[in-house]
A and B are shown apart, each in its own frame.
Chain A
Amino acid sequence: MELEIHVIHYLILSTVMMFCGIYGFFTRKNLLALLISAELMLNATNINFAVFNRYLFPGHLEGHFFSLFGIAIAAAETAVAIAIIINVYRSFNKILTDDISEMKG
């Protein structure tokens, strides 16, 4: 028995996810919605790491561990980003990117 699903199908799935994230990153103005889009992009790359590892180098584990550390680092990034967003909201009472222009050069 062999795995029937071709590697390309996984890659197309992750491409769609990646470009959804990019579209959201360009169109959203709410900081939290921006972060949600970034999360989509991170997930797409993690899927790619796991798929490449499983299909092209089945004897190795590098891609698997890269995904694992990627998930951990994404969690850290989200926690800090949300802390910053909450702090910004507390200081300015605003959450849209257009309204927060104090630090614009």
Chain B
Amino acid sequence: MAITLQEIAFYAVAACITVFSILSVTTGKILRAATYLLFVLLGTGFIYGILGYTYLSAVQLIVYAGGIVVLYVFSILLTQSANDMKYSIRKARILSILLTCAVGAALVIFLVVTNDFALNTIPQGEELNVKEIGHALIGTGKYQFVLPFEITGVLLLACMIGAIMIARKKQ
């Protein structure tokens, strides 16, 4: 069986995501953690693209990589927390947390591997077209999502007002 280009892309992106997510929780500098998070988010966007969800991939890149990471970098600089990463955690505590995470991950991976998924393989390179997404987003029928769409809009408005109210300077 020949190795396809898609497989190469997937495994390269998967390796990148794994390495950068480990780095982003272990690095000692918070600005670097935010940068590694950016790479993880970009990798996630590529994964969506490989799956054929190009619209979701674009949303991921715009909202996460474009919006949220910038927000993080600004707030890191605003709070000057670059120097506030110097704290010590006891060795025993780190060891116990590491053990907990390793055991949990091993358990989940064991369950995933032993579970027989009813595997429907999908045609390669077939992407979900935007017309279908648009119809599903603003339709009112079964399997259509106008109500969550509108509620998300209201939620975003509320969170925008709330964030401005909370973060503004008190007179």
Chain A contacts to B: CB under 8 angstroms:
1-13, 15-24, 26-33, 35-37, 39-40, 43, 46-47, 50-51, 54-56, 58, 60-62, 64-65, 67-69, 71-80, 82-87, 89-90, 95-96, 98
Contacts of A40 in B (CB 8 A): 21, 24-25, 37, 40
26 contacts between A and B (CB under 8 A): A3-B121, A7-B117, A12-B109, A19-B101, A23-B97, A23-B98, A27-B97, A29-B87, A32-B75, A32-B76, A32-B81, A40-B40, A43-B40, A43-B41, A50-B47, A54-B52, A61-B132, A61-B133, A71-B56, A72-B156, A75-B68, A79-B71, A79-B160, A84-B166, A89-B78, A98-B87
Q: Is the interface of A mostly helix, strand, loop or mixed?
A: helix
Asked if A68 and B56 sit within 8 Å, CB to CB, the answer is yes
Contacts of A5 in B (CB 8 A): 6-7, 10, 50
Asked if B84 and A2 sit within 8 Å, CB to CB, the answer is no
Contacts of A4 in B (CB 8 A): 1, 4, 6-7, 124
B: number of interface residues (CB 8 Å): 83
Contact with A along B102-132 (1 / 0, CB 8 A): 1011001100110001111111110010001
Asked if B167 and A83 sit within 8 Å, CB to CB, the answer is yes
Asked if B51 and A80 sit within 8 Å, CB to CB, the answer is no
Among B33, B68, B97, B162, point to the contact of A26 (Cβ < 8 A).
B97
Contacts of B84 in A (CB 8 A): 30, 95-96
Asked if B105 and A15 sit within 8 Å, CB to CB, the answer is yes
A63 CB, min distance to chain B CBs, angstroms: 9
Complex Cα–Cα for A1 and B6 (A): 12
Contacts of B155 in A (CB 8 A): 72-73, 76
4 cross-chain pairs, A with B, having the tightest CB-CB distances, nearest first: A24-B25, A76-B159, A83-B167, A83-B163
Contacts of A82 in B (CB 8 A): 71-72, 75, 163, 167
Contacts of A71 in B (CB 8 A): 56, 59-60, 63-64
Complex Cα–Cα for A55 and B50 (A): 12
Is B89 interfacial (CB-CB < 8 Å)? Answer: yes
**Residue on B nearest A43 in the bound complex, by CB:** B44
Asked if B75 and A85 sit within 8 Å, CB to CB, the answer is yes
